[in-house]
Structures are given as C-alpha cells and as structure tokens.
Structure 1
Amino acid sequence: MAVERDITWNIRHFQGALRCDRNFDVVYRVFRICGREACMFFVDGFAKDEIMEKLLEFFYGIQDEDLLRDAHTFSKSCVPYCEVAISGEEDTIVGQILSGVWAVFVDGMDQCVLIDQRTYPQRTTSEPDQDKSFRGSRDGFVETMVFNAALIRRRIRSPRLCVEHLEVGETSRTDVAVCYFEGRADPELVNTVRERIAQARVDALTMNQESLAELLVRKRWYNPFPKFKFTERPDAAAAQILEGDVVVLVDNSPAAIILPTTLFDVMEEANDYYFPPITGSYLRMVRFFTTFLTTFLTPVWLLLIQEPERVPGWLEFILMEEPAQVPPLLQLLILELAIDGLKLAALNTPNILTTSFSMIGAIILGDFAVQSGWFSAEVMLYMAVVAIANYNQPNLELGYALKFMRLILLVATGLLGLWGFVGGAALLFLVLVSNRTISGQCYLYPLVPFNGGELKKKLLRIGGGPPERKGA
C-alpha cells in the first residue's frame, strides 16, 4: 500500500502498522512545518537525540512553502543531513523504521522522507577472546554490521572493495553484507553466494551467522568438518579479502564468515603472519603436528596394548604395568565424555570460581579415579595430553570433528584390532576427500588434488604476507 497525501490517513495507518499502542519504544511525534502538519515515526532506542533536536529546529525555521511541494524538493532543500532517501511503499517504510531510520511524513506529500540517523547499542571493539594474537591490532568485530564493514574498509582503502547489502528473513529482515575485492575474487563464487543469500526463504536467522551458513551450504549430517572459517579479527578478514576470498558479515554477530574454506585454511592463524617466516613456520608445524597427535595418539596406543607382540623393545614402557579392572577402550570412551562434561561445567561456572573448579576437576578427581581403580595412570596421561593439545586447534568445530573421528577410530580399533584401525583411518580420509567447499573445491586441496607449490605455502610460512589466491 502506498503513502497518501492526507497526513491524517498516514498517521492513523502507520500507527496501526507499527502497533504504536502496544510498542512503548515505537514513538511518533506530530509537529508543523511552515503551517503544514507533519509527523515523524522512530524507534526510541535507535534515535540520536542531538541530531533530532537540530533537525526539528531547522524544520521549525522553514518559511518558504514552495519547498514543501513534493518529497524530492523537501529532502534536497530542507533536510540538512547526509543519509536521506524517499519512499512511498509501506513495507519499505515500516522495515526502515524498525531498523532505526527516522520517517517524516508531511501533509500533501505522497512519499515519506527517510533519515538514517540511527545508532545501535554496542560494546567496544576489543580484541576477541578466541582469536588472540601476540602482535597485531587489538580491535575486533562487534555485533553491529556497519561498524564491522568500517573496520574492513579502514584496512582496504580501495574502490575495488565491494560491500553489497542484502536482507534475509521474512520476519527478522536481518542485514547481511557480502564483501569481496573486485578483480581478485572469483565472479562465479560471488554470484553463487549472492544468489543463495537472496533466494533464502526463511522466517528469521535465529542463530545469526550459523543459520546463514547452513543456508549457503547444505551439509551432510554425517560430515562434521566445517565448510566455513569464522573470524572476529578485522585484519584476518581483510587479508582473506585481498587473497580473493569472499567475506560475509551478518548483523548482530561479531564473527565474519570466510569462504571458500579448505582444511588448511581452517588451521591457519593470525600469529602465523605476525612473526618472521621461520617462527611462523614453526608455529604452523607445531599446530599441524598436535592436530595429528590428538587424532591418532589414543587409537595407536590402544592398538599397541591390545597386540603387545608388535611393540618393539624400546617402546615397552608404554604398556600397562598392571591389568586393568576396566577395559582400556571403555576407560578412554568414558574420559572422552567426562572431559566434555567438565568443559560444559567450567563454561557455566562463575569466573571467580573457574580456577578452583579446574584444580578440583584436574587434580582431586583424577587422583581419586586412579586410586580407586576405575582408570589406569597411563589412560589418564594420554587423555590429558589429548585434552590439552586440543586447545592448540583454533577452530572449535574442527576440533569436535576430529574428536568424532577419534571416537570412531577407538571403537573400530578396540573391536577389530589392526584392521579396525586401518578401516577407521581410511574412513577419515574418505570423509575429508569427499568434502567439498562452496566453490566445489576438494576439502584437502592442495594435497588432493596435489599442488606442490601451494602445499608448500600452506605448510611453511614463506615470504612476508599471506599465500596467493588458491587454485581450482
């Protein structure tokens, strides 16, 4: 429905459309401009009071009625503000008001003037807890998409940086921005991302970026490996854009989505590039080694204690000195669940008690568990190594994906021995190879298909900046 020239009808209609009688924060104010009745609608929590007062003062001072003959003339001559638009469509006006824009109706005009003077409540752009670095900037993304786009724009001052705006959700109308560098990003990938976001038919993005990620790529439920890389660091997002990747920002979320993403991309970290090449290479190799260790340490140990005749003499110390009262496989599975249970308990523990809780869980419970005979000291040792090494993995979703694969390896090894271990390892490789990025690229590229030059750049920190654009 379009806006009418009758101001009385417009006020009554939009009062009903915005439920002003039920919503205390949706405010309307009737005033006069040069003898004509006018009305403004806005959301109280989004309005800037100082700017509103100055605009009202300017409106009261208008003396020339010719400036009010239509919305175009009024917006150009009577609104001393930068971000101004006009619209006559009800859905557009209601959506803009609820997103924080100030809507001005004037008697005799069949269009509304929209003044974007909104401000959103936000926290400071402090360094994120998950993506900390020893060096580099200390700012981080916040829940306001406009500020996140500005943090990227501050680092890439080029007109070729494109930040396209889209809306997702019939009810929520969540703002989404697609960021890419024209000339470096794959146009087909950009079109794919844009079309999938535009064609999304959902009521709301209830879980912000995770809901959008599931709309972009329909994951197979049995494949837990992440298809996206999330970051809360503006410098990391800007670096990926300059590489040719696409970054998606979602309003109300402090994390940016980076795509396409392979396994090697997920395991990269900002610290790799904030140190000299030799140090960055060392940190990266340590990360790859510990990731491999956490996946295969306990299954290999279980295989060796089940078949002690395969253990060479110099490795006999890894065997259990006393027969276990509880089967080692069951011990390992119980501890896998117990560690996650302790993590959840620590997450819900007040900060002031977290240290005490960790000491109780790690020392007292562990010591009594060994003394009571439930767990052997060897099992506790290897599971402690796995639990601590897991924190070396920067991506939480990848850590849990590898955990699920480790559980499959443990069960297969415990039931079938060597053939079970080989079958579990083959299944892990098959799951990784069959996984595809949003661009259709193999998840293990540049290992599969093999590209020696790119693989060297992924494993070693060569040169002074991020690696070149990924191949097809």
Structure 2
Amino acid sequence: MVRENIPIYKTREENVAYMDQILPIKESFDLIRRDLFIGGRVSSFYFINGFNSDDTMLKIMDSLLKVKAEDMPENVWDFSSACIPYVEVEVLFDFDQVFKNLLSGVTCVFIDGYQACIAIDCRTYPARSVEEPDKDKSLRGSRDGFVETLVFNTAMMRRRIRHPALIMEMQEVGDSSRTDVAICYMGDRVDKELLHNIRSKIKSIQTDDLRMNQQSLAECLFRRKWYNPFPKFKFTERPDTASACLLEGKVVILVDNSPSAMILPTSIFDIIEEANDYYFPTLTNVYLKISRALINVMCVFLTPVFLLFMQNLNWLPKVFAFVAVKDTVNIPLIYQLLMLEIAIDGLRLAALNTPSMLSTPLSVIAGLVMGEFSVASGWFNSEVMLYMAFVAVANYTQPNFELGYALKFMRLELLVLTALFNWWGFAVGTVLVVCSICFNKTLSGRGYLHIRLT
C-alpha cells in the first residue's frame, strides 16, 4: 500500500468502497467490517479480530445504538464527545492515518453524513506477563521486566518516575512496518544536543521496515564498522534500570515488539554495569565493578599470555613454573585453544536449543566428554582445559551478550597473532585491543571511555 494523504470522502459509501478496495476484507479472516444503524444513519465499523476488547466494544456499540435520529449532532466533533462514552477517541481526516490506526488495532468508524473517521482505541494486545528477565536478574531488586507491548513498558517506567518532566515522544519508523518508537527522557536533565541528534536521526531513517525491531533500529541509527565488534548501545530488559538511567539524564529508546530498552549515551563502564550495582552499598558496588573489570581483562589476556609463556619457557619465573604443561603435547597448543573456543560456542548453542527437561543430563554428558575423556585421549592437555574453562565462565560475569563476543574476538586475535609472531604478535594484538576500545565511538559521538561527571 502506498502511503498517500487522501482526505476522507463526503459519503460513507465512498469511504467504504475505498477501504474495501485497499484492504483484503474478503481474503483476510481477521479484517472485519460491521455495519450498524446509529441515529438513523448507516455506519461501518472496521476492526481487527484479536486486537479488540470485546467487552468494551459491546458497551460502546450498545450506547451508540441508543442514539436517536433527532439527537445526532451536525458536527463530528460534537458526536465524538457527546455520544461515545469512552476516553481514547480521535477524529481522523485522511486515509493514511486511518490505515495506520486500523492496522495497529484501533477500531475505525465511518458514519454517513460525517466527512471524517472516528478512531476508538480499545486495543488489548496479546502480551505475556511482566516477569523478571532470565538474563538480567537482581538479588534485591524488583521482579518485573519489559515485554513486547510498548504501552506496558512506558507504564512501568511512568510508575517509577512520577514527575511532569518525564517525556515520552512517539515516532514512526518503516514504510511497511510503521513501527512505533518511543523516545523517553527527563526534560529538565537530558542533554539537549544529544536529544536533538537522536530525534533527527530517527526522523531521517529511510527504510521499509524494522524487521528485527530494536536491532534494526540500532543499525539504522549507527552504521558500525565490521572490524570493531564492541557494542555501541546499552540494552536492558529491566524497567528499574531504565528508570535509573532516565534520572541520570540519559535517553531511553523503546521499540514496539521489543522487550528491551536502548540507553544512550553509553560507555564501556555503563555496559559492564548490571542491575545489582544499583541496590548494593557504595563499597560493595565499587568492589563488584572492579572485580568485573578485572575478570573481563583476564578473559581477554589469560590464554594469550599462557600461550606466550609456553612458547618462551625461559621467560617463565620459577615461582610460576608449575603452570607449564607437563604432559605430552600431541596437538599444538594454539590448535587446542582454537578448537576449544569453537567447542564452547557449540555447547552454548546446544544449550539454547535443548529442551529444559533434557538440559541437565546433556550438560553432564557434555562435561564428562569435554573434560576427563578429552584429556585422557590425548586431544587436549589439562592446563589448556583449565584456562579455557575459566574463560568460558568469565564470559558470563557481565550481562551484555554482545560485549562477551567482542571480548572473545579480541582474545582470538591475540591468540593467532601470538602463535604466528610470538611476543611481537602479542604486543601488536594488545595495541589493537586497546585501540578498538579507545577509538570506538558511540551514537553520541563520545569516546568509549568517556565518563560523565554529575
């Protein structure tokens, strides 16, 4: 359907003919047209089955059927305010807005004699419960989480911030999908330049659809460089975290059909932050952040440093002589490390696609096969298995899935360069890792290491 601002016709027959021409009323079972007499005039209701609140629509229709011909107002505005006992009622004057509202679930009514369409918003979207997200759990925080319905998500943040400065702007992106995007911010605390930048970027997006919702929007907002895998945004599925960021003066972007919020601006310090950091005392909070940062550093450098020392055993201090590989090395260490990197991802993918009732026994089997038997068979050395086990667990110490894979790619880069060029390769790889972090730019134009002082 081509988006055209065609005005509403003068007669109901013309409006119904045009609507039936554009919409596949006969072919699509969930697109329904219902004709009724209201005040002696023929009216046509258009709605989508599954998006309506049947009880609410029944009460509205019952009230409209009681309107007498002599009580019909001459003006459509007077009719919508005097004859429709409902809160969310809007009068539309062009078909572009009619189709947008109708296909979003709003009931659209054409009444003979009115050159307008009355939109009654009594939508009830199918939605799951606002349960705590599996990935971003909190020990002491609230137990609710974002869902796929945009209105529910904004309501959960509005419930936490009862301040008139909280603004939630609605935008529309995608010629076909026409996806709703909400820009949320505190009007008295937000960075005005950042807000203007985000608003103008969203308005200038030229795309047919946001098929992957928030990820598609992120790609449209910031064209990332393929060689820098570090994330440019912070995502959260927790409304308490998003509300805390709003109160810090940040911008939160919500996309309909996406159960997470995009937070801007961000830095690497924000990305490694988790929900528990907001609920613990300052000393505990700082300790957890430092521990998480050190573990992330070890996640990148542990196996490359181990490989470097195994290639240069004379560099190994006597106090750390015990870390040297004692058993026979049947397969070069670099190949063992790379195979285990792929094997760990294979186990992770298998866990995602394994039914919950089978996850425990299959995890035990995988642990035995990958652990004891792989070492006993001579494929892997026990030291390599130990360090890779630490790396696999360390990837889960921070909540951002995308950052975990960015650290993994940096580790693989270091491993390959170290294996090829020894300490020269390790030095060059370290410089590349540091440059990837230091010169990484986010949507706000700030560096990845930028710290905002408030």
Displacement of 1:4 after TM fit?
1.7
Report the TM-score, using the length of structure 2 for normalisation.
0.97
2:108 aligned residue (96, 99, 103):
103
Task: Describe the superposition over 1:25-68 as per-residue Cα deviations: whole angstroms up to 9, x where unpaired.
Answer: 01111010111111110011111111111111111111254533
Displacement of 1:10 after TM fit?
1.6
Q: Match of 1:284?
A: 289
Counterparts of 2:81 and 2:155 in 1: how far apart (Å)? 27
1:94 aligned residue (91, 99, 108):
99
Counterparts of 2:300 and 2:358 in 1: how far apart (Å)? 31
Q: Match of 2:166?
A: 161
Q: Match of 2:305?
A: 300
2:252 aligned residue (228, 243, 247):
247
Report the TM-score, using the length of structure 1 for normalisation.
0.93
Counterparts of 1:65 and 1:8 in 2: how far apart (Å)? 22
SS of 1:417 mapped into structure 2: helix
Aligned pairs for 1:46-85 (under 5 A) are 46-63=51-68, 65=70, 67-85=72-90
Q: Match of 2:178?
A: 173
1:133 aligned residue (114, 117, 138):
138
Counterparts of 1:160 and 1:343 in 2: how far apart (Å)? 44
Displacement of 1:327 after TM fit?
0.4
Greater mean deviation of Cα atoms: 311-320 or 279-288? 279-288
**Cα RMSD, aligned residues only:** 1.1
Counterparts of 1:264 and 1:278 in 2: how far apart (Å)? 17
Tell whether 2:261 aligns with 1:261.
Answer: no
Counterparts of 2:91 and 2:384 in 1: how far apart (Å)? 69
Tell whether 2:242 aligns with 1:237.
Answer: yes
Residues 67, 77 of structure 1: 8 Å contact kept: no
Counterparts of 1:322 and 1:104 in 2: how far apart (Å)? 80
Displacement of 1:106 after TM fit?
0.5
Counterparts of 2:262 and 2:70 in 1: how far apart (Å)? 50
Q: Which residue identity does 1:337 align to in structure 2?
A: I
Task: Describe the superposition over 1:101-154 as per-residue Cα deviations: whole angstroms up to 9, x where unpaired.
Answer: 111111011101111111100000000001100011101000000010000001
SS of 1:51 mapped into structure 2: helix
SS of 1:183 mapped into structure 2: coil
Residues 67, 73 of structure 1: 8 Å contact kept: no
Counterparts of 2:228 and 2:207 in 1: how far apart (Å)? 24
Task: Describe the superposition over 1:346-405 as per-residue Cα deviations: whole angstroms up to 9, x where unpaired.
Answer: 111111111111111112332221111111111011101110111112101000001000
Aligned pairs for 1:2-21 (under 5 A) are 2-21=7-26
Aligned pairs for 1:177-256 (under 5 A) are 177-256=182-261
Q: Which runs of 5+ in 1 are unaligned?
A: 447-453, 455-467
Q: Match of 1:465?
A: none
SS of 1:237 mapped into structure 2: helix
Aligned length: 449
Tell whether 2:278 aligns with 1:273.
Answer: yes
Greater mean deviation of Cα atoms: 334-343 or 68-77? 68-77
SS of 1:31 mapped into structure 2: strand
SS of 1:68 mapped into structure 2: coil
1:43 aligned residue (41, 45, 48):
48
Counterparts of 1:67 and 1:160 in 2: how far apart (Å)? 41
Residues 432, 443 of structure 1: 8 Å contact kept: yes
Displacement of 1:418 after TM fit?
1.1
Greater mean deviation of Cα atoms: 233-242 or 82-91? 82-91
Q: Which residue identity does 1:305 align to in structure 2?
A: M
Counterparts of 1:309 and 1:366 in 2: how far apart (Å)? 30
Counterparts of 2:16 and 2:352 in 1: how far apart (Å)? 49
Task: Describe the superposition over 1:10-31 as per-residue Cα deviations: whole angstroms up to 9, x where unpaired.
Answer: 2222122221011110111101
Aligned pairs for 1:384-423 (under 5 A) are 384-423=389-428
Q: Which runs of 5+ in 2 are unaligned?
A: 1-5
SS of 1:143 mapped into structure 2: coil
Counterparts of 2:199 and 2:336 in 1: how far apart (Å)? 49
Task: Describe the superposition over 1:231-273 as per-residue Cα deviations: whole angstroms up to 9, x where unpaired.
Answer: 0000000000110110000000001000111111100111012
Task: Describe the superposition over 1:421-456 as per-residue Cα deviations: whole angstroms up to 9, x where unpaired.
Answer: 11100001111111112111110123xxxxxxx6xx
Displacement of 1:322 after TM fit?
2.6
2:435 aligned residue (430, 445, 450):
430
Q: Which residue identity does 2:128 align to in structure 1?
A: R
Residues 18, 94 of structure 1: 8 Å contact kept: no
Q: Match of 1:357?
A: 362
Q: Which residue identity does 1:214 align to in structure 2?
A: E
Counterparts of 1:249 and 1:40 in 2: how far apart (Å)? 31
Tell whether 2:388 aligns with 1:376.
Answer: no
Residues 225, 398 of structure 1: 8 Å contact kept: yes
SS of 1:352 mapped into structure 2: helix
Counterparts of 1:66 and 1:127 in 2: how far apart (Å)? 51
SS of 2:171 mapped into structure 1: strand
SS of 1:159 mapped into structure 2: coil
Q: Match of 2:337?
A: 332
Q: Which residue identity does 1:283 align to in structure 2?
A: L
Q: Which residue identity does 2:281 align to in structure 1?
A: P
Q: Which residue identity does 2:404 align to in structure 1?
A: G
Counterparts of 2:302 and 2:373 in 1: how far apart (Å)? 24
SS of 1:122 mapped into structure 2: coil
Task: Describe the superposition over 1:313-338 as per-residue Cα deviations: whole angstroms up to 9, x where unpaired.
Answer: 11000001133110001100110011
SS of 2:36 mapped into structure 1: strand
Displacement of 1:86 after TM fit?
0.7
Q: Which residue identity does 1:181 align to in structure 2?
A: M
Displacement of 1:342 after TM fit?
1.1
Q: Match of 1:311?
A: 316
Displacement of 1:278 after TM fit?
2.0
Q: Which residue identity does 1:410 align to in structure 2?
A: L
Q: Match of 2:3?
A: none
Tell whether 2:122 aligns with 1:117.
Answer: yes
Counterparts of 1:281 and 1:365 in 2: how far apart (Å)? 36
Displacement of 1:205 after TM fit?
0.6
Matched residues, percent identical? 50
